[in-house]
Structure 1
Amino acid sequence: MTAPREDVVAAARAWLGTPYRHQQSCRGAGTDCLGLIRGIWRELVGEEPEAVPAYTPDWSEASGREDLLAAARRWLRPCPDGPLVPGIVLLFRMHDASVAKHLAIVSRTEASPCIIHAYSGQGVVESPLSAPWARRVTGRFSFP
């Protein structure tokens, strides 16, 4: 059974304003983009399925390993291409030749699509899914 998408968006919105803290996942105290997804998982699905190893802000760029993409494929459900729907998880490549290393929740899809994500220097924010963000999407997933 898949977590209802409106519950995913509501859970993500509860994290708005949480400061950015690398490798953290504590609503109100600090999180990064993975920590946001982990926190939503804990609220809607239950215990986290695996321990998250320490990671640097550049993730696995030096090795070229797709660690975040592999974890998304293990624990989330792939979503088909097509129109975006609220509540899905987007995975991004920050540069064309780099590994996937950023996550966000689609919060709105009407006239101005938006995402909720934890962003360095910003914290957890709801921001437009602008063209520069949209062209970096490399995966779409839903919570189980």
Structure 2
Amino acid sequence: MNAELEDRKAAAAVLAEAVTWIGTPYRHQGSTKGVGCDCLGLVRGIWRAVYGSEPEAPGPYAPDWAEAGGRDRLLEAAGRHCAEKAIHEALPGDLIVFRWRVHHAAKHVGILMSEHRFLHAYEGHAVTVSALIPQWRRRIAGVFVFPDLPPY
């Protein structure tokens, strides 16, 4: 484990698990490594592997779920289970939440892998690591720190 992650054991565990999902096919509402997942399912699966169980079930959702209801459900859920931090303070192993358009609900998530790369699942692609280019950076709606690991 590198020095940056020494005091961030949860982040190190998230990163170690995240890379094992690379290549998992995209499947809407899926959350099973090697079988299929969407972006939320990727985070749910990583959470299960790191913490043992999910903190809440998302329930069924349509591909356009974020456009209905007028709430920012993804950001709200991230805030219930993780600590929010300033975007410029993001570190590897943090959860990043994206908003496609201003004044619309956030609807995409990924795991920051390095200063310039993040892991995510999106339609038509397997789980992959992408460059965090300006087009992605300007869509970041929130950055969240995963909770500490439970003592064993």
TM-score > 0.5 by shorter chain:
yes
- CA deviations on 1:41-75 (whole Å, 9 max, x unpaired) are 11111211112211111123132211111111111
Alignment size in residue pairs: 141
Residue 8 of structure 1 is matched in structure 2 by 14
8 Å Cα contact 2:87-2:142 kept in structure 1:
no
Q: Which of 87, 94, 97 is 1:91 aligned to?
A: 97
Q: State whether structure 2 residue 145 is matched by structure 1 residue 139.
A: no
Alpha-carbon deviations, 1:61-120, whole Å to 9, x = none? 1322111111111111212342431100000001112100100000011xxx00000011
Deviation at 1:3, TM superposition (A): 4.5
Q: Which runs of 5+ in 1 are unaligned?
A: none
Residue type of the alignment partner of 2:65: W
Gaps of 5+ in 2: 1-6, 148-152
Q: TM-score, normalised by structure 2?
A: 0.87
Q: Identity percentage over the alignment? A: 45
Given residue 49 of structure 1, which amino acid in structure 2 is its aligned partner?
A: P
In the alignment, which of 76, 79, 83 is matched to residue 82 of structure 2?
76
What is the alpha-carbon distance in structure 1 between the residues aligned to residue 138 and residue 48 of structure 2?
29
Cα-Cα RMSD: 1.5
Please name the residue that 2:4 is paired with. Answer: none
